[in-house]
Amino acid sequence: MTESPTDPAASRPTVKLRPGKGRRLSQGAPWAYADEIAMDRRTKALEPGSLVRLVEGDRVLGLAAFNGQSQLAARLIDPDPEAEIGPDWFAARLGAALRLREAFHDAPFYRLVHAEGDGFPGLVIDRFGEAVVVQPNAAWIERCLPDLLAGLEAVLAPATVVISATSRARRLEGLETRLEVLGRPLDGPVEVAMNGAVYLADLAGGQKTGLYFDQRGNHAAAAALASGRDVLDVFTHVGGFGLACIAGGAARAVAVDSSEPALALAAEAARRMGVTDRFETRAGDAFDALRAAAEAGERYGMVICDPPAFAPHKGALEAGLRAYARLARLAAPLVEPEGWLVLCSCSGAVSAEAFREACTGGIGAAGRQAALVLSGRAGPDHPQHMALPETGYLKALTFRMQP
């Protein structure tokens, strides 16, 4: 194997857990927080992203990536503390991730790497045919980026690599943000076919990687129930649920989002699908749009709300739950009797139970009754780490509204 010149195995430092700490590590989680680390002067001086031997007393836990500037200070990346981290190491793990996706998808459009779920803490890669979007959200990935790209070339040989280093997580790691396109230049949005619909993904200028693959299965479930109905898709992004429902036979879809560029892509996708007469876009704040629809007396056979994370961290949990309840309260009155209400959350800090309670509370506050009939999650290209419930971040609840 080719060893990374920045972190040769023979000279790796040792980082120790404080006595009695590391409870989550002992339960299988791949993390140790800053207050669980013995932060002596030598440890504090380590460069962010350094590869270290992580130990607890006399027990070696494995090879970890260390960043003393981050609350999430140590991330286990290999059980072998002497593992050589270079192009071959990345290629082997990327190959395993690719084989998982190929077991479920017959077209090269999916999340290729889902951070801890694929053994790459802090890394996300989405594949769009001959292009990939790489989100290096941790200091060790930034440090090892040349080796990662070499491994990616060996496994996929993508024509275009977009380095989308713009996430909030990078700021928490003390990293600067940037956007870079390597290889063949992009000549516009990438067309993606899913569930019979067409989507346009702006890989360099859109939100995150340009498209949310995680909702693929939930789009299909909603589309199966939408036939012949009018659909209101709130927080649609580039067409999301709305275009899938149109492809599934919905009579009409109204797509709401605050981003006019995203709505322009949704409208263009509808044009390519030949359904512009059945697809309407509305730009504006989602909560305002729901209130305006109610004041206008609008009713729909299906209303879908797929907002951004209202609780991106535990500190925002209570405010986030109130926002989810308010969204349900505003959306429920717009659903026809025996219609469908689909409510989603991508907040890792919100448990499935807490989200369900917020939704049912909001529906009840609107004076409506409903039965929960479907519970969805992210697809198999978003594998969950078995010791990290928060990696099962996506929740999609489908309610059948009572008469």
Supply the pLDDT for residue 3.
42
Least confident span in 64-68, 111-115, 292-296, 389-393: 389-393
Give me the residues paired with residue 161 across strands: 132, 182
Out of 1.20.200.10, 3.40.190.10, 3.30.750.80, 3.30.360.10, the CATH code matching 87-183 is 3.30.750.80
Average pLDDT over residues 103-131: 97
Average pLDDT over residues 103-127: 97
Strands of the 230-234 sheet, one edge to the other? 279-283, 252-257, 230-234, 300-305, 335-345, 395-401, 370-376
Give me the residues paired with residue 396 across strands: 344, 376
Could you tell me the two tokens for 203?
């890989």
Average pLDDT over residues 318-322: 97
Give the DSSP per-residue string, 183-223. ESPP-SPEEEEETTEEEEE-TTTSSTTSS-GGGHHHHHHHH
Using a 10 angstrom Cβ sphere, with 0-12 exposed, 13-18 middle and 19 or more buried, the burial of residue 124 is: buried
Inter-CA distances, 40 with 11, 17, 60, 165, 353, Å = 18, 11, 18, 31, 41
User: What's the CA dihedral at 321, 326, 332, 333 to 10 degrees?
Assistant: 170
Q: Determine the CATH number of domain 203-401.
A: 3.40.50.150
Inter-CA distances, 215 with 34, 197, 346, Å = 33, 13, 10
Using DSSP bridges, classify how beta strands 123-128 and 131-136 pair: parallel, antiparallel or unpaired: antiparallel
- Whether the model clears a pTM of 0.85, i.e. scores above it, the answer is yes
Average pLDDT over residues 376-389: 94
- In 246-315, where do the E strands start and end? 252-257, 279-283, 300-305
Supply the pLDDT for residue 10.
65
pLDDT at 41 over 80: yes
Supply the pLDDT for residue 126.
98
Supply the pLDDT for residue 7.
53
Q: How far apart are CA 263 and CA 270, in angstroms?
A: 10
In degrees and rounded to multiples of 5, residue 334 shows phi and psi of: -85, -10
* 313 contact partners, CB below 8 Å, separation of at least 6: 349
Helix (H) or strand (E) holding 364: helix 352-365
In this prediction, residue 206 has a pLDDT band, given cuts at 50, 70 and 90, of: confident
Average pLDDT over residues 67-83: 95
Q: How far apart are CA 121 and CA 6, in angstroms?
A: 19
User: What's the CA dihedral at 83, 86, 90, 93 to 10 degrees?
Assistant: -20
Supply the pLDDT for residue 20.
85
Average pLDDT over residues 87-100: 98
Mean pLDDT of the chain: 95
* 8 contact partners, CB below 8 Å, separation of at least 6: none
Average pLDDT over residues 368-378: 98
* pLDDT tens profile 260-283: 999 999 999 999 999 999 999 999
- Just list the catalytic residues: 346
Average pLDDT over residues 172-185: 94
pLDDT at 157 over 60: yes
Q: How far apart are CA 310 and CA 177, in angstroms?
A: 23
Q: How far apart are CA 115 and CA 122, in angstroms?
A: 5
Q: How far apart are CA 267 and CA 281, in angstroms?
A: 7
pLDDT at 4 over 50: no
In contact, 207 and 180? CB cutoff 8 Å: no
Supply the pLDDT for residue 24.
78
Strands of the 74-78 sheet, one edge to the other? 14-16, 50-56, 59-66, 74-78, 31-32
Q: How far apart are CA 301 and CA 279, in angstroms?
A: 15
CB atoms closer than 10 angstroms to residue 257: 25
In contact, 340 and 400? CB cutoff 8 Å: yes
Supply the pLDDT for residue 303.
98
In contact, 378 and 318? CB cutoff 8 Å: no
Q: What percent of the chain has pLDDT over 90?
A: 89
Domain boundaries, the chain: 9-78, 87-183, 203-401
Supply the pLDDT for residue 8.
61
- Range 9-78 classified under CATH 2.30.130.10: yes
* 72 contact partners, CB below 8 Å, separation of at least 6: 31, 33, 34, 172
Average pLDDT over residues 167-188: 93
- In 203-334, where do the E strands start and end? 230-234, 252-257, 279-283, 300-305
Selection from 204, 83, 213 nearest residue 147 by Cα: 83
Supply the pLDDT for residue 1.
34
